[in-house]
């Protein structure tokens, strides 16, 4: 039973142990509270007896002692309950977030192509938060209340089974009503969540595109769009809350009907002489207490239904197959060989063929040489370089590094041999030093500085207030495009990996900087397998080999001189660029 419960609510072993303890301590707290009521009832019965028949007043000392013991037990039990129903779950949910983030890190990039990023953000933040609240405020409370009331019900059967039934019948009925509404309510909650994802998406988009929105004077249009999705979310949430409120209040009313039935049954039994008035009074006192622990559980039980859906979404990420492979990677040299490779984004998923973006691509990028990929926009250059680093797996043919099929190697192990400079440089809100050190975590300061100097970072970093210790803002917002790219190059240089993938590495540099960085690159790339993507023919004229891609196929390959002489695609591109360079405004 606990195993399916653990799976249903996506709990770790420690989490399920916490639930068990939380339930135990909540039940005990409820029982101690009930025992306190019983104790006060006995004291009061003593007073009533004194008033009725002049019996001795109960002794004060045992009463004070009893109350003291009661308060100490209640405090201790409450404390344990608090720890096991709250503290443990904040830790549990923190761990869940980390587990999901870790899983996402290992998932193939094709997964992110299929899944909406706002939806994933909502799962990591919103769904985990829902679970956090459900675990801490509902699970323990609910089961603790159920167990405590079952024990009290069983004991009260001995005193008067008719009154016990009259007092307790409403608890299972109230829960049954709520449970039956689970089916129709789940789609309502799912719709509310879908609207929330839309709001997150719209806000993310607005923030991501804030520059473009300003530049095109689209503020009013975007705000209007944002308003529409926020309004829709508000409407769906209000509707969901109203339906939920209606059901919960019906359950509350049914629960409280137990007081009326206890009173009516008790009165009838007292009148017919079946029970003593004090027994009826004791039952009335009990019903005034027994429903209280259910109040919060009833109000929030719908959160458990929502939490089930949240757990399902989290499980779907955790069950997503990660890109696997051997951790043993012993290539012979680092030639990168594409052998009749075909590839389509989305191929193989949900049985889809995926539209081919590469067909029958074969070439070798030799160790110690620079292989340049050129071709029109959309011809597949970036895709080829991504396949070399196993960001995706080829759908046909093989990509090998030093004779080893990359599809058989663990992606993390494979990437240790790759240094990559992307077209869109991603920087972290850290110091310049910290950002470069991402290339190699264990690098000394001297090694980081040497890489930075080689990438020509010194010039702009020396103008920064704290030099290499200056924080560069979120995604390097305080840096120019060229500066960001130089940091990224420094990272790659520091990594000193045998294979280097440069994607338009020098696109944001001015002529002066480009020359310096090119020199640094050619010095430091010596001996490596370099695959460079460049649009500008000037950049690739010194390459050892050029592979020209057109519509996903290799149109031609050879040295720059051979290709120019052949007068084919490459020669045509060189001529076009010369023409473009001659243009004047
Ligand atoms: N993540 C993706 N999902 C689906 N299709 C993609 C994805 N990335 C690229 N494509 C498509 O694959 C084809 C090749 O794209 P690729 O980025 O490899 O071309 P490219 O030659 O590098 O282009 P550019 O020079 O403009 O950067 C294009 O048709 C593109 O639309």
pLDDT one digit per residue (tens) for the chain, 585 residues: 677 777 777 788 888 888 888 889 988 988 898 888 888 888 888 888 888 787 777 788 888 888 899 889 999 998 988 888 788 888 888 888 888 888 888 887 777 767 777 788 888 888 888 888 887 888 788 888 888 889 989 988 988 999 999 999 999 999 888 888 777 778 888 888 888 888 888 888 888 788 788 888 877 888 888 889 999 999 988 988 888 888 888 888 999 899 999 999 999 999 999 988 888 888 888 888 888 878 777 777 777 777 888 888 888 888 888 878 888 889 999 999 999 999 998 765 555 556 889 999 999 999 999 999 999 888 999 899 989 989 888 999 999 999 999 999 998 899 899 988 877 777 888 899 999 998 888 899 999 999 998 888 888 888 988 889 988 877 677 788 778 888 888 888 899 899 999 876 555 566 666 676 676 666 667 789 999 887 777 777 788 999 999 999 999 999 999 998 988 888 888 888 776 665 555
Q: H-type helices in 83-218, by residue range?
A: 88-106, 109-114, 117-122, 128-134, 140-159, 161-168, 170-180, 182-208, 210-215
Q: Which atom of ligand 1 is nearest to the CA of 423?
A: 27
Among residues 288, 315, 311, 318, which one has the least CA distance to residue 139? Answer: 311
Q: What are the angstrom distances between the C-alpha of 413 and each of 138, 324, 495, 501?
A: 44, 10, 14, 16
Task: Cite the beta strand spans of 238-282 per DSSP E.
Answer: none
Q: Is 326 helix (H, G, I), strand (E, B) or coil?
A: strand
Q: What does the alpha-carbon distance between residue 103 and residue 325 come to, in Å, rounded to a whole number?
A: 15
C-alpha of residue 106 to centroid of ligand 1, in Å: 22
Structural domain boundaries in the chain: 7-317
- Give yes or no for residue 345 CB within 6 A of ligand 1: yes
Mutate to test the pocket of ligand 1, among 108, 348, 381, 504 (most ligand atoms within 8 A of CB): 381
C-alpha of residue 71 to centroid of ligand 1, in Å: 69
Instruction: Please tell me the residue having the least CA distance from ligand 1 atom 16.
Output: 380
Instruction: Please tell me the residue having the least CA distance from ligand 1 atom 31.
Output: 378
- Give yes or no for residue 422 CB within 6 A of ligand 1: no
- Residues, the chain, total? 585
C-alpha of residue 112 to centroid of ligand 1, in Å: 15
- Give yes or no for residue 314 CB within 6 A of ligand 1: no
- Give yes or no for residue 26 CB within 6 A of ligand 1: no
Q: What does the alpha-carbon distance between residue 313 and residue 319 come to, in Å, rounded to a whole number?
A: 10
Q: What does the alpha-carbon distance between residue 483 and residue 477 come to, in Å, rounded to a whole number?
A: 11
Q: What does the alpha-carbon distance between residue 47 and residue 59 come to, in Å, rounded to a whole number?
A: 11
* ipTM of this predicted structure: 0.97
Pairing status of strand 336-344 against strand 370-374: unpaired
Which CATH code for domain 7-317? 1.20.1560.10
Q: What are the angstrom distances between the C-alpha of 148 and each of 142, 164, 239?
A: 10, 14, 34
Both tokens of residue 98?
């980390």
Both tokens of residue 277?
């008035």
C-alpha of residue 395 to centroid of ligand 1, in Å: 16
With b for 16 or more beta-carbon neighbours within 10 A and e for fewer, the 227-237 pattern comes to eebeeebeebe
């Amino acid at each position: 039973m606990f195993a399916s419960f653990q799976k249903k609510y996506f709990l770790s072993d420690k989490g399920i142990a916490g639930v068990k303890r939380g339930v135990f301590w909540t039940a005990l707290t409820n029982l101690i509270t009930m025992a306190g009521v019983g104790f006060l009832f006995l004291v009061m019965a003593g007073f009533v007896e004194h008033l009725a028949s002049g019996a001795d007043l109960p002794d004060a000392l045992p009463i004070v002692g009893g109350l003291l013991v009661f308060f100490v037990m209640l405090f201790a039990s409450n404390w344990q309950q608090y720890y096991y129903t709250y503290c443990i779950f904040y830790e549990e949910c923190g761990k869940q977030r980390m587990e999901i983030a870790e899983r996402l890190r290992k998932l193939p990039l094709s997964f992110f192509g299929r899944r909406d990023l706002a939806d994933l953000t909502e799962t990591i933040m919103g769904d985990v938060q829902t679970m956090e609240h459900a675990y801490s405020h509902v699970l323990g409370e609910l089961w603790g209340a159920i167990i405590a009331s079952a024990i009290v019900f069983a004991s009260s059967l001995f005193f008067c089974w008719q009154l016990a039934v009259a007092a307790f019948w409403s608890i299972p009925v109230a829960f049954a009503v709520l449970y039956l509404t689970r089916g129709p309510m789940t789609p309502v909650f799912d719709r509310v969540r879908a609207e929330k994802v839309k709001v997150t998406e719209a806000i993310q988009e607005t923030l991501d595109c804030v520059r473009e929105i300003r530049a095109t004077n689209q503020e009013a249009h975007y705000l209007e769009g944002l308003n529409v999705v926020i309004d829709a979310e508000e409407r769906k949430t209000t509707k969901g809350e109203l339906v939920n409120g209606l059901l919960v209040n019906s359950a509350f009313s049914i629960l409280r009907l137990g007081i009326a039935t206890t009173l009516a049954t008790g009165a009838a039994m007292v009148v017919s002489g079946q029970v003593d008035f004090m027994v009826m009074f004791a039952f009335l006192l009990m019903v005034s207490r027994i429903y209280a622990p259910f109040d919060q559980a009833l109000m929030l039980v719908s959160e458990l239904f929502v939490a089930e859906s949240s757990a399902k979404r989290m499980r779907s990420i955790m069950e997503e197959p990660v890109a696997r492979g051997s951790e043993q990677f012993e290539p012979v040299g680092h030639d990168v060989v594409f052998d009749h490779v075909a590839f389509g984004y989305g191929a193989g998923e949900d049985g889809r063929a995926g539209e081919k973006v590469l067909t029958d691509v074969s070439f070798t990028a030799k160790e110690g040489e620079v292989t340049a990929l050129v071709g029109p926009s959309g011809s597949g250059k970036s895709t080829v370089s991504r396949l070399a680093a196993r960001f995706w797996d080829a759908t046909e043919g093989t990509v090998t590094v030093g004779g080893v099929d990359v599809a058989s190697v663990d992606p993390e192990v494979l990437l240790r041999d790759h240094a990559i400079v992307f077209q869109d440089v991603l920087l972290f809100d850290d110091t310049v030093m910290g950002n470069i050190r991402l290339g190699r975590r264990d690098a000394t300061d001297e090694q980081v500085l040497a890489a930075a100097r080689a990438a020509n970072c010194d010039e702009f970093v020396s103008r920064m207030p704290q030099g290499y210790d200056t924080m560069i803002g979120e995604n390097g917002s305080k840096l120019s495009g060229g500066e960001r790219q130089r940091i990224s190059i420094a990272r790659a240089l520091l990594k000193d990996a045998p294979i280097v993938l440069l994607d338009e590495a020098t696109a944001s540099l001015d002529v002066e900087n480009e020359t310096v960085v090119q020199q640094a690159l050619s010095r430091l790339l010596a001996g490596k397998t370099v695959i460079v993507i460049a649009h500008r023919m000037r950049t690739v004229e010194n390459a050892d080999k050029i592979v020209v891609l057109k519509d996903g196929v290799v149109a031609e390959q050879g040295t720059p001189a051979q290709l120019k002489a052949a007068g084919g695609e490459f020669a045509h591109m060189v001529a076009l660029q010369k023409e473009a360079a001659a243009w004047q405004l």
